[in-house]
Structure 1
Amino acid sequence: MDIWQLLTFVATGICLYLAWIAYYRPRKRQRLQYQTAAIQYFDEDDYALPSDAAMTFRGESVARLAKARLIVWNGGTDALRGDDIVKHDPLRIRLASPGKILSHSIVGTPNEGNLVSADERPGSQGEILLTYDYLNPGDGAVIQVLHDSKQRAPVLAGAAKGLSDGPQALGTVTLHDIKASKKRRNALRTMFALGLVVLLLGVIRTVPLSPDDYSRMPSAIAWLVGDERNLYLSTMLIILGLAYMSLPSYAFVTGRPRFPKSLRRFVQEPQDGS
């Protein structure tokens, strides 16, 4: 297989992938997704207080204090209706470990017509009921919770008609100012692009080339490809390229905000103390 056959094979794979996206993306689906941003201000297990000192919140003694913001939104293509929430398994924010919700509030919602509300669940100190009239695709809200649980990030649980898997957790997120976020994304993209170039160079060097192939190449590319097939060098280039691509890919997928941009103005860095 010469280099042109390899390029044809790669192009065919890309076309099949794009065709798969074009087939599945237009399909209607309902998804309620969320991410969390949390910080723990104090934990008595980490800081030994004197016997005559105590940590209090609104006059009540607490063993620890944490703040979490849940960013909840409709990540599907169909509207979500509040009437579809299952009554015996309502949507609720609950602590991931035993504890008490000390206070909660809705930081903001881009569409006030959604009528998003968060109310304490009767008979439970660790759950907040989440209701809404409707959520169009991209609609959502940011809910803040102060609690004394060991696990900083609460979870969103419950069921609704059309949500076969329930609320979908997309991990935690740490938000910086917009300028810093752009710099971080640009750095990750640059690192990924360099890794891709190194990977392709390693793959190309494994393909036998004829003198005619070299004659059709620009001199700079022919110099990069080389005229000797070195399996060890090609393998090292492929491994190095994959490593360069995997690190930014992991950082981008696990730490990036995945919620709609309309919600970003309601989400601040948890360390700001607000």
Structure 2
Amino acid sequence: MGDFDSLLGIFSLGWVGSVIGLLGIAIAIFIYLRTRQRTRLAFAYTAQQLLGSTGALPRDITLQFRGKEITKLTRTLVLVWNSGENTILADQIVSSDPLQLVFAEGSQVLSATVLKQTRAVNQLQTILIPEPGNSLFLRFEYLDTGDGALIEVLHTSDDRFPLFLGTIRGMPKGIEDLGNIRSMSGKAWSFRMHPRIIAWANLIGGILMVAVGIFPTTLAKMHDVGFVFSSPAFALAAGSAYILLSFFILYFYRRKYPKALQPDTLLSDSKYESRKAIQGDAQQA
């Protein structure tokens, strides 16, 4: 009866009701996240300059495109996918404002290739725009939840990442920019410091603390220690907090794009440019 009496004693405390209430809120948020219905198209990117001042290729290498020498060449990978719960149909794209990837004015898009797509039936394709030559259209039949593609673009722009323009009916906030693929995949973190590793450690510790708070006498006997946890109520509260924090970190640092679209290699660029800086330059131009 020792453990049962201890459990009754814990639930008789006033603050335990608050902890249960917080857990109820957390469960409600989880159910909402699992059942919500949104129309969302997201994209992410990574890039590497191949030819130029910081290019990966030797400087004495020269390239030509349509008879003209190229002094700059950048490879950009763009992930595009349906990150919502509703299907996006081709007729939802506004004809007067089609989907397009646009690089800096005066640059040239040399090629655009769909490297991967979740399903061929989506018929996702890229179409280069001849004039002025710094952009390309993006078209598809439909995208269910998680459907998308990995697109490789070779271009001469100083801005390594494009603007994603276009309007889709039912998406008043526009296309969602989720930033660099490296930060989303976790490859930029070392194994020791990866937030998900820390979250799992916190989760295990939180579960153990909750167990100590609920069954202090039994656990003490199991481990043959000569004492009972001095404050089971504190262990229960702290453990619950650790568990909630762990779930938050795991959700925040989850891989947001479909696993099927994971690039085979992540590109590195010593001159990483943030999206805000690029958009600011575009607005000034």
Q: Could you say which TM-score interval applies, normalised by the shorter chain?
A: 0.5 to 0.7
- Which residue of 1 is the match for residue 198 of structure 2? 191
Unmatched 5+ stretches in structure 1: 202-212, 228-236
User: 2:129 & 2:52 partners in 1: Cα distance?
Assistant: 26
Equivalent pair of 1:173/1:257 in contact (CA under 8 Å): no
Describe the superposition over 1:119-164 as per-residue Cα deviations: whole angstroms up to 9, x where unpaired: 0124231111001111111111111101122222223221111121
More displaced stretch, 113-122 vs 126-135: 113-122
Task: Write the deviation string for residues 205-238 of structure 1: whole angstroms up to 9, x where unpaired.
Answer: xxxxxxxx9x8695589989768xxxxxxxxx9x
Displacement of 1:41 in angstroms is 1.9
8 Å CA contact retained: 1:192, 1:249? yes
Match of 1:43 in 2: 52
Tell me if the contact between 1:174 and 1:269 (Cα under 8 Å) persists in the aligned partners: no
The corresponding residue for 2:72 is: 64
The normalised TM-score by structure 1 is 0.67
CA contact (8 A) 2:114 2:152 kept: yes
Q: Which residue of 2 aligns with 1:262?
A: 260
In the other structure, the counterpart of 2:165 is: 157
1:200 Cα shift?
A: 11
Size of the aligned set, in residue pairs, is 239
| Cα distance in 2 for residues equivalent to 1:271 and 1:131 | 25
Distance 1:56 1:90, change over 3 A: same
Distance 1:190 1:110, change over 3 A: closer
Aligned to 1:77: 85
2:18 corresponds to 1:9: yes
Distance in 1 (CA, whole Å) between partners of 2:119 and 2:113 is 16
Give secondary structure in 2 for the equivalent of 1:161.
Answer: coil
8 A Cα contact 2:111 2:128, kept in partner = no
- CA shift at 1:197, angstroms? 7.8
Superposition TM-score, scaled by structure 2 size: 0.65
- 1:43-90 per-position Cα deviation (integer Å, ceiling 9, x unaligned): 23789x98xx57324453233221111111111111111111112211
Cα displacement (A) at 1:23: 3.5
Q: Which of residues 180, 184, 208 is equivalent to 1:172?
A: 180
**Unmatched tracts of structure 2, length 5 or more:** 1-8, 209-213, 232-237, 269-285
Q: Equivalent residue of 1:174, what SS?
A: helix
Pick aligned residue for 1:106 from 114, 122, 128: 114
Q: Deviations over 1:4-33 (max 9, x none)?
A: 544542332121122133245423221111
> Within 2, Cα distance between the matches of 1:222 and 1:41?
66
1:67, 1:270 within 8 Å by CA — same for their partners in 2? Answer: no
Structure 1 residue aligned with 2:274: none
| Cα separation, partners in 2 of 1:187 and 1:270, compared to 1, 3 Å | closer
Contact 2:49 2:55 in 1 (8 A): no
**Counterparts of 1:62 and 1:54, CA distance in 2:** 10
Q: For the residues of structure 2 that align with 1:61 and 1:128, how far apart are their CA atoms?
A: 22
Aligned counterpart, 2:127: 119
